[in-house]
């Protein structure tokens, strides 16, 4: 699996020619500043526009606070009292009476839906889905049925999510549809009635269904699974469904599906990048625009009024605009912006007045002048794919012969984006050049690029990462003897694989919750991932039919080949990558006399959430990298 030699074609976007030498290193930001909870985040304006809810710390845990719109943020009242893992996900009910939030238990991802009354902040939250071992998620809050929430819940069978109506006032639950055969997406009317959905068929296709009356559903059209259809909702007059789809195109584009004829009309597309978001108003379903995650996040207006809004916002905000919640009259919006050197700024925008007011910043203690810029870059892989990514360089240090980290994103069907990243900034502040690569299999660059990663875990996907590391050396940025690899989830697997299959490239590696044995990883997926097994079999391999192949791509069985020291961190309650994946890797490394440090955290899952656990993780990573790369 190790190629003796290859010719790496340089894309030519980066040509760094600074002379060797050093300058003043970056000012050292306290490690606690990267591990702390945000001071102000996730702001949501109530549908009636009278209040704003947001996330802020209470006794070192993220909780929900509420203040009157227009009042100072420091006048807000605490309305939740979670002393354990903290809260990060909440929504207003449509009548602005309640707040709903989801919470799991020490990272196990069995999320329950809780209700809290902002007018009675001392009342305890009510668990509306108190079923142990099940996960619930909100899919719709109907405009004209404010006491109801449409939810998906796997309390009947842990393998499948059923669609049901949850009474917010008393917790009563009524089944609407069992998720068999699996439904891909739902669209509801203003009363919360199921109006359209996509459904997988036994022959592997996807039907788009509409419910014209109580008499039954009818099929508007049928797609292939590879068309990747996503339903965004009805247009304003309900004559068509807005879809993002890749049929007839390499990239996902926005189309309108006529409900009578089944014909599609292309509304917008990009030849290189997938559609990222469709921007619509909440109540009237006016199509505002579309967004693409290119080198930077870009919004394209499709509505003259929205074009005016964007012009006002672009003048007032220093970075890309992201739209959040809006009032029922669609005149006041929460918007935010972020950049690599700005961890975020959140604003209230009044459309009728054209005014933008700052509400708060999540990390005001991080100063832009101390943070590293993130530059888009590209190079060609050994077999000709154009690979995009980002390079972040430490401030105050000449970009020559630096210690470097190749940071591999998770997923792998995800991608790195331009913006603030606490781990990237932490590493750059400690003097490391940080390279992020959107290797084949990443999303956002079209179907061909994403599918080029099928069955390439530990293969060509890893080659792309290795090519990136060698590109960084050829550019003169990285010292080839002081390069590390760092990743979480799939990125953790990639770190282990790089050290096992390319043992001379990296001086050390960091693996956060990465699978080490692809066979057992696929056999121990959460039960509610049952619908994804076909996709895993196609993209990774079948643990029954492809056992030998999967074994050849599993770093656990090549622990004896690893030369570089490894740091491994794992949450004990991780439902996606079980603790045993890390335990066995550590055991195999120690059995073969390899250098490994292991951090097992009892009250965490797949992602670390509490400040003290984040702090410990950052501290151990800092000491590990300093030991082997500095």
SS (H, E, C) 339-388: ECCEEEEEEEEECCCCEEEEEECCCCCCCHHHCCCEEEEEEECCCCCEEE
The set of residues, in sequence order, having a beta carbon less than 8 Å from that of 4 and lying 6+ positions away, is none
CB atoms within 10 A of CB 84: 13
The CA-to-CA distance between both ends of the chain, in Å, stands at 30
414-439 burial, b if ≥16 CB within 10 A, otherwise e?
bbbbbbbbbbbbbbbbbbbbbbbbbb
Q: How far is CA 262 from CA 197, 204, 350, 588, in A?
A: 14, 20, 39, 57
Q: Are 26 and 429 in contact (CB under 8 A)?
A: yes
Q: Using omega within 30 degrees of 0 as the cis cutoff, is the peptide bond preceding 181 cis? A: yes
Tell me which H or E stretch contains 549: helix 547-552
Distance, in Å, from the CA atom of 549 to the CA atom of 537, rounded to the nearest integer, reads 12
Distance, in Å, from the CA atom of 569 to the CA atom of 549, rounded to the nearest integer, reads 27
In DSSP notation, 75-117 reads G-EE-----SS----EEE-TTSS-EEEEE-STT----EEEEE-
Q: With CA atoms as reference, report the closest residue to 568 among 617, 504, 520, 519.
A: 617
- DSSP code at position 577: S
SS3 447: helix
Distance, in Å, from the CA atom of 160 to the CA atom of 181, rounded to the nearest integer, reads 10
Please list the residues that pair with 348 across neighbouring strands: 334, 357
Distance, in Å, from the CA atom of 206 to the CA atom of 294, rounded to the nearest integer, reads 28
Tokens 């940080």 sit on residue: 434
Active site amino acids: 489, 574, 606
Please calculate the CA angle 140-141-147 and round it to the nearest 5 degrees: 140
SS3 420: coil
267-270: long-range contacts at Cβ-Cβ below 8 A with a sequence spacing of 24 or more?
267/242, 267/302, 268/300, 268/302, 270/294
User: How many Å separate Cα 601 from the centre of its chain?
Assistant: 22
Assigned token pair, 287? 């199509």
Tokens 């190749």 sit on residue: 406
Specify burial of residue 442 (Cβ count, 10 A radius: 0-12, 13-18, 19+).
buried
């Amino acid at each position: 699996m190790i190629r003796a030699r290859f010719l790496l074609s340089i894309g030519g976007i980066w040509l760094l020619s600074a002379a060797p030498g050093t300058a003043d290193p970056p000012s050292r930001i306290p490690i606690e500043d990267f591990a702390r909870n945000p001071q102000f985040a996730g702001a949501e304006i109530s549908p009636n526009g009278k209040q704003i809810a947001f996330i802020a710390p209470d006794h070192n845990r993220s909780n929900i606070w509420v203040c009157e719109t227009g009042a100072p943020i420091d006048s807000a009242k605490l309305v939740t009292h979670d002393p354990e893992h903290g809260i990060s996900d909440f929504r207003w009910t449509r009548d602005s009476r309640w707040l709903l939030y989801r919470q799991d238990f020490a990272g196990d991802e069995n999320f329950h839906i809780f209700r809290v009354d902002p007018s009675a902040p001392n009342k305890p939250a009510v668990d509306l889905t108190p079923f142990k071992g099940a996960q619930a998620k909100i899919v719709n809050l109907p405009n004209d049925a404010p006491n109801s929430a449409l939810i998906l819940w796997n309390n009947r069978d842990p393998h499948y999510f059923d669609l049901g109506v949850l009474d917010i006032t008393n917790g009563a639950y009524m089944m609407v549809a069992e998720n068999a055969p699996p439904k891909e997406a739902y669209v509801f009317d203003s009363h919360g009635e199921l109006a359209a959905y996509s459904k997988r068929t036994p022959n592997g296709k996807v039907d788009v269904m509409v419910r014209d009356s109580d008499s039954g559903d009818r099929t508007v059209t049928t797609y292939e699974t590879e068309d990747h259809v996503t339903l965004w909702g009805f247009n304003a007059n309900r004559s068509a469904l807005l879809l993002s789809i890749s049929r007839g195109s390499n990239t996902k584009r926005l189309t309108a599906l006529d409900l009578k004829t089944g014909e599609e009309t292309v509304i917008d597309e990009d030849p290189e990048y997938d559609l990222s978001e469709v921007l619509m108003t909440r109540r009237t379903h006016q199509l505002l625009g579309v967004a693409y995650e290119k080198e930077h996040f870009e919004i394209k207006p499709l509505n003259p009024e929205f074009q005016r809004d964007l012009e006002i916002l672009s003048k007032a905000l220093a970075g890309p605009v992201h739209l959040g919640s809006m009032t029922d009259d669609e005149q006041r919006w929460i918007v935010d912006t972020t950049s690599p050197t700005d961890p975020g700024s959140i604003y209230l925008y009044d459309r009728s007045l054209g005014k933008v007011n700052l509400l708060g910043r999540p990390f005001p203690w991080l100063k832009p002048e101390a943070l590293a810029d993130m530059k888009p870059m590209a190079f060609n892989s050994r077999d000709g794919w154009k690979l995009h990514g980002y390079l972040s360089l430490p401030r105050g240090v000449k970009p020559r012969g630096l210690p470097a980290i190749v940071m591999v994103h998770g997923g792998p069907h995800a991608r790195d984006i331009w913006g603030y990243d606490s781990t990237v900034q932490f590493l750059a502040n400690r003097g490391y050049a940080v390279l992020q690569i959107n290797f084949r299999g990443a999303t956002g660059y079209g179907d061909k690029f994403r599918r080029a990663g099928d069955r390439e875990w530990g293969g060509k996907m890893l080659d792309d990462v290795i090519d990136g590391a060698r590109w960084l050396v050829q550019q003169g940025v990285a010292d080839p003897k002081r390069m590390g690899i760092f990743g979480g989830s799939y990125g953790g697997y990639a770190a282990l694989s790089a050290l096992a299959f390319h043992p001379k490239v990296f001086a050390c590696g960091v693996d956060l919750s990465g699978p080490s044995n692809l066979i057992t990883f696929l056999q121990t997926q959460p039960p509610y991932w049952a619908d994804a097994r076909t996709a895993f079999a196609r993209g990774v391999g079948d643990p029954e039919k492809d056992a030998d192949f999967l074994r050849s791509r599993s770093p656990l069985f090549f622990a004896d080949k690893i030369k570089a020291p490894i740091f491994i961190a794992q949450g004990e309650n991780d439902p996606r990558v079980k603790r045993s994946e890390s335990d066995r890797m550590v055991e195999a490394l120690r059995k073969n006399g390899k250098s490994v440090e292991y951090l097992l955290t009892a009250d965490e899952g797949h992602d670390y959430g509490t400040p003290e656990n984040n702090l410990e993780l950052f501290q151990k990573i800092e000491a590990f990298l300093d030991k082997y790369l500095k």
